[in-house]
């Protein structure tokens, strides 16, 4: 533990809607998982953190939490700050995130898995940070090492289609986008739309951690192919967490804590000094 009581770990999994309906990772009942502590909260400069679970995967210590830390009593911006403050104090080097997304690319359909390679940020949370004076270059926003392992594992274990690249459009929600907004995002090159890749990708860079994510298509975006089906989305929500959770864990088991990928080099000292 460090002075703030945060355990030192190299790895973190940020849970989203694809694993929300289970207790992750406990419900997967894997022999290589051992829960060290659950319900961990920490005092941060941005308020009390969400609940974290600390577990070992083989010999690796991992912190995980549910639904990106979002809670009704906390703004999403502060929730993100709380999460990444904890991950910074923990010394996390590799972060894997997951979620459910809407299909903008007409080739994608529900239950497809996408491992995004880039993003378009249309959220209103672009200024979310932890206060450090860094110049963040977003050239390699997704760690190639994490991405490679997620793709490899998903292709080995997924029963459906896996797409090894894609552009993730970030909007604020909580509502879905209008057909006109979806058409705009499509014309700009987006493949999927969701609400969590930003500001996570910025905050990961700020704390010097590598970031990658795996997303499952849970619905067609408005105006794409057909009207999205609430019952189908509900079925995916409740039936797919085991598959997604095992892909995340099996990929993480093969991810090295080293950062020869070069991701940290894209964080530079700010030239704007007070």
Q: Which residues of 147-179 are buried (b: 16+ CB within 10 A; e: fewer)?
A: bbbbbbbbeeebeeebbbebbbbbbeeeeebee
pLDDT at 2: 54
pLDDT confidence tier of residue 127, bands split at 50, 70 and 90: confident
In a domain, 264, yes or no: no
pLDDT confidence tier of residue 273, bands split at 50, 70 and 90: low
Average pLDDT, the chain: 93
pLDDT at 270: 84
In a domain, 54, yes or no: yes
In a domain, 230, yes or no: yes
In a domain, 129, yes or no: yes
Structural domain of residue 65, as residue ranges?
A: 11-259
Q: What is the mean pLDDT of residues 232-244?
A: 90
In a domain, 85, yes or no: yes
Condensed to tens digits (0 to 9), the pLDDT of residues 133-192 reads: 888 999 999 999 999 999 999 999 877 899 999 999 999 978 899 999 999 999 999 999
In a domain, 6, yes or no: no
Q: What is the CATH number of the domain that holds 60?
A: 3.40.50.1580
Q: What is the mean pLDDT of residues 113-132?
A: 89
In a domain, 273, yes or no: no
> Total structural domains in the chain?
1
In a domain, 185, yes or no: yes
Residue 274 pLDDT > 90: no
pLDDT at 184: 97
DSSP assignments along 13-53, one per residue = EE--TTTTTS-TTGGG--TTEEEEEEEE--EEBTEE---EE
């Amino acid at each position: 533990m460090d002075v703030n009581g945060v355990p030192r770990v190299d790895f973190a999994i940020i849970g989203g809607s694809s694993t929300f309906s289970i207790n992750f990772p406990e419900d997967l009942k894997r022999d290589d998982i051992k829960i060290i502590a659950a319900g961990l909260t920490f005092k941060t400069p941005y308020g009390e953190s969400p609940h974290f679970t600390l577990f070992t995967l083989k010999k690796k210590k991992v912190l995980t939490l549910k639904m990106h830390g979002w809670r009704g009593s906390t703004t999403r911006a502060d929730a993100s700050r709380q999460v990444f403050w904890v991950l910074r104090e923990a010394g996390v080097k590799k972060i894997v995130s997951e979620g459910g997304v809407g299909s903008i690319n007409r080739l994608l359909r529900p239950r497809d898995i996408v491992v995004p390679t880039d993003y378009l940020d249309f959220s209103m949370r672009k200024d979310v940070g932890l206060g450090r004076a860094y110049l963040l270059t977003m050239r390699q926003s997704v760690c190639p090492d994490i991405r490679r392992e997620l793709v490899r594992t998903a292709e080995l274990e997924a029963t459906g289609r896996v797409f090894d690249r894609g552009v993730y459009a970030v909007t604020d929600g909580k509502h879905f986008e209008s057909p006109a907004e979806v058409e705009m995002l499509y014309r700009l090159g987006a493949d999927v739309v969701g609400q969590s890749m930003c500001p996570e990708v910025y905050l990961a860079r700020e704390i010097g951690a590598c970031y990658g994510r795996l997303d499952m298509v849970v619905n067609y975006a408005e105006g794409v192919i057909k009207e999205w089906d609430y019952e189908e989305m509900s079925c995916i929500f409740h039936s797919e967490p085991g598959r997604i959770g095992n892909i995340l864990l099996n990929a993480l088991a093969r991810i090295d804590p080293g950062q020869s990928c070069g991701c940290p080099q894209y964080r530079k000292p700010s030239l704007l000094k007070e």
